[in-house]
Amino acid sequence: MKSDVVKKGIEKAPHRALFKAMGYTDEEIERPLIGVVNSKNEIVPGHIHLDKIAEAVKAGIRMAGGTPIEFGAIGVCDGIAMGHIGMKYSLATRELIADSCEAMGLAHSFDGMVFIPNCDKIVPGMLMAAARINVPSIVVSGGPMLSLRHNGKNLDLNSVFEAVGAYKAGKMTEEEVCEYEDTACPGCGSCSGMFTANSMNCLTEVLGLGLPGNGTIPAVYAERIRLAKKAGMKIMELVQKDIKPSDILTPKAFENALAIDMALGCSTNSVLHLPAIANELGIEINLEIINEISSKVPNLCKLAPAGHHHVQDLYAAGGVQAVMKELSKKNLLHLDLITATGSTVGENIEKAAIKDSEVIRSIDNPYSPTGGIAVLKGNLAPDGAVVKRSAVAPEMLVHKGPARVFDSEDAAIDAIYNGKINKGDVVIIRYEGPKGGPGMREMLSPTSAIAGMGLDKHVALITDGRFSGATRGASIGHVSPEAMAGGPVAIVKDGDIISIDIPGGKLDMEIPDSEIQERLKAWKAPEPKITKGYLGRYSKLVSSANKGAVLENK
């Protein structure tokens, strides 16, 4: 066993003494040691209950003959961090989570590991760590929050953000906003739409490191506890068979994940995280690959924010496995890949079926013949930009309008809230990329304000930052190269005509190439917004979004 280096032989008597200081018996020490990484905390609704998930995992490990050893991981609540300096830290914590899990996992020589995340950056951070540590591993999330009906409408966190915009536009009273505030998030779990957390938990299931149901079983269902126990038992089988993340996370597994990403209409943040996870294994996932898969995989689901269904509805309709089964009918998935169940993808989905064709459409009746995410390129984004195509109003799929340029999210929010944005405008928010932000803030406040004011069918937003998975509308993010790296988005001026063609994959400024070159020659990088601490170090090492915002060795 890998853990023999910390427990076997007379030379390890001091090590065993330290185990015994914590109450471990000889019998427990002799068994396989399984690290249980628990991101439970009291600041993230998706994580407040993870102590119960961890206890279930540990029970499963003990039932199957292992010794669970729990330790913690950090997690930022994107919703609470939204719209202020806190959001600069959110994406950056992905690397901290991966690094700290790596440090704990390799320093203590666990035989296997179970990762318990739930929300946005924590899931990909732990997946990156699993790939890096490469001992038998499994991921079990805390599950999605429920969405409850209020006045005939199912609410979620995004409903509250949009209510603020509606209030600013005089369309809601303060009392009505407070009703949303009290109702939209009814309990524990990751926010209830196909936002980033649920996107990544569903894709973990597709990649093969999560058991079927990982992405969709609601947080408060007893089935979630049973899943956690099964994960605890299953890790012992993976240890026995020595099935490691590198055996599961193959290039074909990432192609499967991208295919389901397109079918579900996942968060655009998946386009940041899947390349970053693949990068840990030396696998390249670039925007060209993503665009190729998007062009041939139909969009079968419109979950919030793209539609009115939520993850609980996807669960009831057959879950991720039913979506996989549907894509397999036209040979859009690789079925022979091994997964954390110990069985192949094909074996896992053999009995899956759609139970509600309103939530999961058949492959012969898709919402669109192409995927939920589109990659755009042009003279404004030479290295690419990303939009959640499935959440864009039809009238905004092709749009031209004058640029309204802001050098920070805060300046843009101020203009939006004060009624300074007009129908037809294209709002440009720059210097918010991984390096320029630093940290590539999510921008749910400006996009939800636009939607709440009823402008989402008239106004586009473009940024070198990123958007929340809860964002809807013509919100185009990840513009690369980012402004801080001297990308063309840095030289856009107020009034420049911006041309958006989402079906055609184009994003351009309607100004001559010679003018673009002159402006680029005259451009000078502004002073970094933050130079100290973790973000100061992060900004010096991080790549642009088209590479997954990974830290590069420079």
pLDDT digits (tens, 9 = 90+) for 487-520: 999 999 999 999 999 999 999 999 999 999 999 9
- Give the start-to-end residue ranges of the domains of the chain: 1-25, 30-144+183-347, 373-545
Q: Is 120 annotated as a binding residue?
A: yes
Query: What value does the mean pLDDT take over residues 152-158?
Result: 94
Residue with tokens 């993850």: 311
| pLDDT tens digits along 199-225 | 999 999 999 999 999 999 999 999 999
At 267 the pLDDT is: 93
**How many other CB atoms are found less than 10 A from the CB of residue 280?**
21
At 332 the pLDDT is: 98
Query: What value does the mean pLDDT take over residues 379-398?
Result: 95
Strands 112-116 and 506-509: unpaired
**Alpha carbon 401 to its chain's center:** 30
Q: Is 442 annotated as a binding residue?
A: yes
% residues pLDDT > 70 (the chain) = 100
For the record, the structure tokens of 250 come out as 């193959």
Are 293 and 258 within 8 A, CB to CB? yes
- C-beta pairs of 518-526 under 8 Å, 24+ apart in sequence: 519/491, 520/486, 520/488, 520/490, 520/491, 522/491, 523/486, 523/490, 523/491, 525/484, 525/486, 526/407, 526/431, 526/484
3 catalytically annotated: no
Please identify which of the residues 90, 137, 468, 544 carries the catalytic annotation.
468
Q: Is 78 annotated as a binding residue?
A: yes
Assigned fold of 30-144+183-347: Rossmann fold (3.40.50)
What residues have CB less than 8 Å from 13, skipping those under 6 apart? none
pLDDT > 70? residue 38: yes
**How far is the first Cα of the chain from the last one, in angstroms, to the nearest whole number?**
36
| pLDDT tens digits along 449-476 | 898 888 989 999 999 999 888 888 899 9
* Beta strand ranges found along 464-533 (DSSP E): 475-480, 497-501, 506-509
What residues have CB less than 8 Å from 223, skipping those under 6 apart? 213, 217
Query: What value does the mean pLDDT take over residues 245-249?
Result: 98
| pLDDT tens digits along 306-351 | 999 999 999 999 999 999 999 999 999 999 999 999 999 999 999 9
Q: Is 121 annotated as a binding residue?
A: yes
At 355 the pLDDT is: 98
Cis peptide before 298 (omega within 30 of 0): no
Entry pTM: 0.95
At 554 the pLDDT is: 61
What is the distance between the alpha carbons of residues 242 and 154, in angstroms, rounded to a whole number?
A: 44
% residues pLDDT > 90 (the chain) = 95
pLDDT > 80? residue 377: yes
Pick 373-545's CATH classification: 1.10.620.20, 3.90.1170.40, 3.50.30.80, 3.40.50.1100.
3.50.30.80
At 452 the pLDDT is: 87
